[in-house]
Amino acid sequence: MTDQPSEPALRLPAYRREAGVHPALNSPEYRSTGLRSPQQPPVVLPHLLTEVTGPLFGHDRVAQHDDDLTRQYPGEPIGQRITVTGRVLDGDGRPIPDALVEVWQANASGRYRHIVDQWPGPLDPNFGGCGRVVTDSNGNYTFTTIKPGAYPWGNHPNAWRPAHIHFSLFGRAFTQRLITQMYFPGDPLFPLDPIMNSVRDEKARLRMVSTYDHELTRENWSLGFRWDIVLRGRDATPFEDEADDD
């Protein structure tokens, strides 16, 4: 106890700003960016209290079968049953535990259960295409689904999106929020896809591609794919340096 009650000095983490990873908002090959990308340069926002904090959603947001998209309807969906697993880490390799991961995808024929998706791929009465999981104490997530199909879109003549699963991640701070897509290895549509190729750096682009993992493949049941997700890391702070001295 001190007789001068005062707030302790405010020390906040700072998240690294890394250029050259995320796509440019104005990417003309993806036509919809044309009228939706800002033209003014963004203003640098310091990392203050609102930015270094964020919603910490956990198991309260997840219901039974949210981690198994093959068990959400009375029957089993058509398609190749797969398990997708990986770790959610920050840019320094620290696992991000207890973090909500939301996923959505097309069915095996490449059709989304959405009113606007009307191409003649069949809907599957036993597949909704949405899931939610929470990372464990080591940042691991796992869900079961079926492999989505490729689908056509109107961006350019005979345009097809490579098969992908959408991922939404909160991390631990507003700075770490990320929505992205996971792709499957060896897809011949990769070089033709303006959305994937909006990530100009090849190494960064390939970080969106999962790997086939035979260890995860279950005999007579499902194929396994592994995909780690890396959210922003922190700059070292004096406080952390002290903590590392022991």
Partner 1 sequence: MTEPASPRRLGLTPSQTVGPFLAIALPWDDGEWVVPEGTPGAVRISGRLFDGAEAVIPDGIVETWQADAEGRFVHPDDPRGTTDPTPAGFRGFGRSATDEEGRWSVFTVVPGRLPTPDGATEAPHLDVSVFARGLLDRVVTRIYFPDDPANDTDPVLSRIDPARRATLVATTVDGGLGFDVHLQGEHETVFFDL
The four Cα atoms 112, 113, 118, 119 give a dihedral, to 10 degrees, of: 40
Which position among 6, 116, 215, 241 is part of the footprint of partner 1 (CB under 8 A)?
A: 116
Q: What angle do CA 60, 65, 68 make, to 5 degrees?
A: 120
Which of positions 167-196 make contact with partner 1 (CB under 8 A)? Answer: 168, 172-175, 177-181, 195-196
SS3 of residue 162 by DSSP: coil
Contact 181, 152 (CB under 8 A): no
Which of positions 124-153 make contact with partner 1 (CB under 8 A)? Answer: 128-130, 138
Shortest distance in whole angstroms from residue 216 CB to partner 1: 19
- Say which residue the tokens 């198991």 belong to: 59
Shortest distance in whole angstroms from residue 9 CB to partner 1: 8
Shortest distance in whole angstroms from residue 36 CB to partner 1: 4
Residue (2 or 40) nearer to partner 1, CB: 40
Which position among 78, 208, 216, 223 is part of the footprint of partner 1 (CB under 8 A)?
A: 208
DSSP designation for 74: S
Catalytic residues: 112, 151, 161, 164, 166
SS3 of residue 14 by DSSP: strand
